[in-house]
């Protein structure tokens, strides 16, 4: 087996976004594109010689090929060992767990998460650091700098490694350890939660359905929900990971998880419904006839986490991304917990979790997690919900309504305008930025602006800063509008408009979210001049 140095030239735009480098699959499949980026990961982390890394992915098209390339490149650059999930599969939270458990130097996850997969869709590469979390901006910055200068990379000429065969093989001087990607993760879940109580609830007739959306969580959910917790066979739907996710978007929101939504609105709806995304780090929670907004889910979990064994001694503090609703803040205030507001993206929770300042975190985009790993974790959220339901004996709807009665309701929705021309989306943000200072006191669609600013963040642990993280407009009466551009898309720009209003009136708890937010939505359109800039009047997704 020969090590070859291949000459290359830089590709433009290999800048990791909110969560890794995401591009069209065909972009990644161009000769040298993936190789350049991987070589730059090695350079960004100070080389890979003698190191042990974890490698996994969400099973999307090209993941198996990319895994072979990464193995040959790691072997050529002197890595000691790669721990890889069988079939190159491993969910993002399971990879985070494996990185921590085996005390490796980090890991690579091949995923574009909730983006669709296939030759004409998206692919992605994420690097996670030794704490199991997404690389912070300092590291991704070094990787990006390297992509601008790269002139050669190193790769081994060799046959494919058999990634279906469990056990350790050699590739050149490197060890490739193929592991069952599910077992360790399932064991971890069993240590965190009261499986006996959940099993008893299920055997007592509690029915659940979990939609894996043909993505990576299928095998995990089958093992945990059906095998270990006794849910009826078939409770996990779309459980077979497919390279194109069965043609769908593996994004657990009411638009893309429509099959689950239908099941949960049927007359004989199960007691609990959930879905997860491509790489298994997101969750959507439903009760019979009810979609639980992720921001509410975070607040409900923060209020009840102590009911699960892992959190019985308290959760110390909580953190939410800035656009996430302030529902969890009310819980924190009442329980005397520290509460942090961070920029979008899980990497910003890492330091707070490492320092033990917070134990629970969440994002409005259906990501919830804790200090058990350093990624958001879809099945973890499902299991914490089940643990809380088992411990309280309440149903989902009752639990949420009780929560609103105690803490008030933060009515919340996110509107996405997808595929907007980048220049137009940027112009909208730039223009609004210049008007922010003058907004206070003005009235739009009947709502008065109380304050407006642009969010920037200083990490309380290491003092690093992140500027321009979204425009915030606070309305009198507790409403809020946030605007930012997505950092995970691959075509044009996605404008995200986050809408929120607050009510403590019990008779408004049952109202339809979009209806209740009518004024705030109208104010957002007026303030940001969405139609004038983008030509759009309606969003593509209301989450
Ligand atoms: C989106 C979400 C963000 C999430 C990120 C990665 O980012 O808004 O909350 O952390 O995706 O999630 P953006 O920049 O498009 O708004 V995942 O499940 O892709 O790892
Ligand atoms: Co994801």
For residue range 414-473, what is the model confidence (pLDDT) as tens digits?
999 999 999 999 999 999 999 999 999 999 999 999 999 999 999 999 999 999 999 999
Closest-approaching ligand to the CA atom of 216: 2
Cα-to-centroid distance, 281 and ligand 2 (Å)? 5
CB–CB of 55/88 below 8 Å? yes
Ligand nearest to the CA of 134: 1
pLDDT exceeds cutoff 80 at 1: no
pLDDT in tens, 351-404: 999 999 999 999 999 999 999 999 999 999 999 999 999 999 999 999 999 999
For residues 117 and 508, the model is more confident at: 117
Kindly give the distance from the C-alpha atom of residue 156 to the centroid of ligand 1, in angstroms, as a whole number: 34
pLDDT attached to residue 489: 81
Q: Which residues are CB-contacts of 482 (< 8 A; sequence separation ≥ 6)?
A: 322, 323, 455, 470, 471, 472, 473, 496, 497, 498, 500
> What is the best residue among 488, 497, 540 to mutate for testing ligand 1's pocket, by most ligand atoms within 8 Å of CB?
488
Q: Has residue 491 got a pLDDT over 90?
A: no
What are the C-alpha distances in Å from 424 to residues 28, 471, 534? 27, 16, 6
The DSSP letter of residue 60 is -
Smallest CA-to-CA distance from 53 within 37, 34, 28, 71 is with: 71
Q: How many CA atoms lie within 13 A of 451 on its CB side?
A: 4
Query: Rounded to two decimals, what is the model's pTM?
Result: 0.95
Residue 511 has pLDDT above 90, yes or no: no
Q: Closest residue (by CA) to atom 10 of ligand 1? A: 345
> Is residue 487 in contact with ligand 1, taking CB distance under 6 Å?
yes
Q: What 3 state SS string does 499-531 have? A: EEEEECCHHHCCCCHHHHCHHHHHHHHHHHCHH
Percent above pLDDT 90 for the chain: 95
Average pLDDT over residues 517-526: 96
Looking at the predicted structure, is the pLDDT value of residue 340 above 90? yes
pLDDT 10s digits, 127-150: 999 999 999 989 999 999 999 999
Answer yes or no: is the C-beta of 131 below 6 A from any ligand 1 atom.
Answer: no
**pLDDT over 70 for what percent of the chain?**
100
State residue 18's pLDDT score.
Answer: 84
Supply the pLDDT for residue 414: 96
- Confidence label for 27 from pLDDT (cuts 50, 70 and 90): very high
DSSP symbol at 226: I
pLDDT of residue 5: 97
State yes or no: pLDDT of 69 exceeds 80.
Answer: yes
Using alpha carbons, select from 524, 320, 310, 315 the residue that is nearest to residue 417.
524
Ligand 1 atom 20 nearest Cα: 113
Confidence of residue 490 (pLDDT cuts 50, 70, 90): confident
d(CA 271, CA 205): 9
Q: For position 450, what pLDDT does the model report?
A: 96
Q: Is 133 in the pocket of ligand 1 (CB under 6 A)?
A: no
Is the pLDDT score of 28 beyond 90? yes
Q: Could you list the active site residues?
A: 113
Ligand 1 probe mutation, 17, 18, 275, 541, most atoms within 8 A of CB: 18
Q: State in Å: Cα 272 to ligand 1 middle.
A: 25
Mean pLDDT across 171-189:
98
Q: What is the mean pLDDT of residues 103-115?
A: 96
Assess whether the C-beta atom of 365 lies below 6 angstroms from ligand 1.
yes
Max Cα–Cα distance, the chain, nearest Å? 72
C-alpha of residue 40 to centroid of ligand 1, in Å: 23
Can you say how many angstroms the Cα of residue 148 is from the centroid of all Cα atoms in its chain? 28
Q: What's the 58 CA to ligand 2 centre distance in angstroms?
A: 9
Closest residue by Cα to atom 4, ligand 1, is 345
For residue 281 and ligand 1, the question of a CB distance below 6 A is answered with: yes
Beta bridge partners of 296: none
Q: Whose CA is closest to 286, among 399, 414, 387?
A: 399
Ligand 1 touching residue 81 (CB < 6 A): no
Nearest CA among 11, 244, 281 for reference residue 126: 281
8 A C-beta contact, residue 261 and residue 274: no
The DSSP secondary-structure symbol of 282 reads B
Please give the mean pLDDT across all residues of the chain: 96
Sequence-distant (≥ 6) Cβ neighbours of residue 307 within 8 angstroms = 387, 388, 391, 392
Whether the CB-CB separation of 282 and 252 falls below 8 Å is answered with yes
- Please choose from 345, 378, 469 the residue to mutate so as to test ligand 1's pocket, defined by most ligand atoms within 8 A of CB: 345
pLDDT at 508 over 80: no
Which two three-digit tokens encode residue 377? 């974790």
Report whether residue 72 contacts ligand 1, using a CB cutoff of 6 Å.
no
Count Cβ atoms within 10 A of the Cβ of residue 434 and give its class: 0-12 exposed, 13-18 middle, 19 or more buried: exposed
Give the C-alpha separation, 22 to 180, whole Å.
26
The contacts of residue 406 (CB under 8 Å, 6+ apart) are 303, 334
CA distance 381 to 365: 13
Do the bridges between strand 443-444 and strand 338-342 make them parallel or antiparallel, or are there none, so unpaired?
A: unpaired
Identify the residue whose C-alpha is closest to ligand 1 atom 16.
Answer: 486
Distance CA 304, CA 306 (A): 6
Mean pLDDT lowest for which of 256-265, 336-345, 426-435, 504-513? 504-513
- Over residues 528-538, the pLDDT tens digits come to 999 999 999 99
The better pLDDT of the pair 487, 268 is held by 268
CA gap 205, 194 in Å, rounded: 18
Cβ of 486 below 6 Å from ligand 1? yes
pLDDT average, residue stretch 477-497: 93
- Distance (Å, rounded) from C-alpha 10 to C-alpha 301? 46
Yes or no: say if 324 and 295 are a contact pair by the CB < 8 Å rule: yes
| pLDDT value for 488 | 84
In the chain, DSSP finds a helix count (H) and a strand count (E) of: 18, 27
Residues 284, 257: contact at Cβ < 8 Å?
Answer: yes
């Amino acid at each position: 087996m020969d090590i070859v140095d291949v000459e290359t030239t830089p590709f433009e735009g290999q800048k990791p976004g909110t969560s890794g480098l995401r591009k069209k699959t065909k972009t990644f499949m161009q000769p040298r594109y993936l190789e350049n980026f991987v070589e730059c990961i090695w350079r960004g982390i100070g080389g890979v010689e003698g190191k042990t890394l974890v490698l996994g992915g969400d099973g999307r098209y090209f993941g198996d090929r990319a895994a072979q390339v990464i193995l040959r490149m790691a072997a050529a650059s002197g890595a000691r060992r790669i721990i890889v999930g069988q079939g190159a599969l491993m969910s993002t939270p399971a990879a985070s767990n494996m990185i921590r458990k085996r005390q490796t130097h980090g890991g690579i996850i091949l995923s574009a998460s909730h983006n669709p997969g296939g030759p004409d869709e998206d692919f992605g590469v994420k690097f996670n650091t030794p704490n199991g979390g997404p690389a912070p901006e300092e590291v991704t910055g070094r990787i990006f700098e390297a992509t601008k200068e790269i002139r050669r990379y190193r790769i081994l000429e060799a046959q494919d490694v058999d990634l279906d065969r469990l056990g350790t093989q050699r590739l050149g001087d490197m060890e490739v350890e193929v592991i069952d990607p599910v077992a360790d993760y399932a064991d971890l879940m069993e240590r965190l939660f009261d499986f006996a109580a959940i099993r008893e609830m299920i055997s007592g007739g509690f029915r659940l359905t979990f939609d894996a959306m043909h993505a990576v969580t299928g095998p995990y959910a089958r093992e945990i929900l059906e095998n270990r917790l006794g849910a009826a066979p078939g409770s996990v739907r779309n459980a077979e990971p497919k390279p194109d996710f069965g043609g769908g978007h593996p994004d657990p929101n009411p638009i893309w998880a429509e099959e689950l939504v239908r099941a949960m609105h049927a007359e004989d709806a199960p007691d609990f419904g959930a879905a997860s995304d491509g790489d298994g780090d997101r969750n959507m929670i439903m009760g019979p006839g009810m979609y639980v907004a992720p921001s509410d889910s975070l607040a409900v979990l923060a209020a009840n986490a102590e009911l699960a064994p892992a959190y019985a001694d308290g959760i110390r503090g909580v953190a939410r991304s800035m656009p996430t609703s302030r529902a969890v803040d009310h819980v924190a205030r009442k329980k005397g917990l520290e509460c942090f507001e961070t920029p979008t993206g899980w990497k910003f929770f890492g330091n707070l979790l490492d320092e033990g300042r917070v134990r629970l975190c969440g994002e409005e985009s259906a990501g919830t997690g804790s200090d058990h790993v350093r990624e958001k974790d879809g099945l973890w959220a499902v299991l914490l919900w089940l643990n809380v339901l088992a411990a309280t004996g309440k149903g989902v709807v009752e639990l949420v309504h009780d929560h609103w009665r105690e803490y008030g309701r933060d009515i919340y929705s996110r509107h996405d305008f997808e595929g907007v021309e980048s220049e137009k989306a940027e112009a909208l943000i730039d223009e609004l930025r210049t008007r922010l200072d003058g907004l206070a006191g003005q009235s739009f669609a009947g709502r008065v602006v109380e304050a407006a600013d642009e969010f920037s963040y200083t990490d309380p642990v290491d003092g690093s800063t992140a500027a321009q993280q979204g425009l915030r407009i606070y309305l009198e009466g507790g409403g809020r509008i946030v605007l930012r551009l997505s950092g995970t898309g691959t075509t044009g720009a996605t404008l995200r408009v986050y809408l929120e209003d607050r009510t403590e009136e019990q008779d408004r708890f049952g109202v339809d979210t979009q209806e209740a937010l009518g004024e705030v939505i109208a104010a957002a359109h007026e303030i940001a001049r969405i139609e004038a800039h983008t030509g759009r009047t309606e969003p593509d997704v209301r989450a």
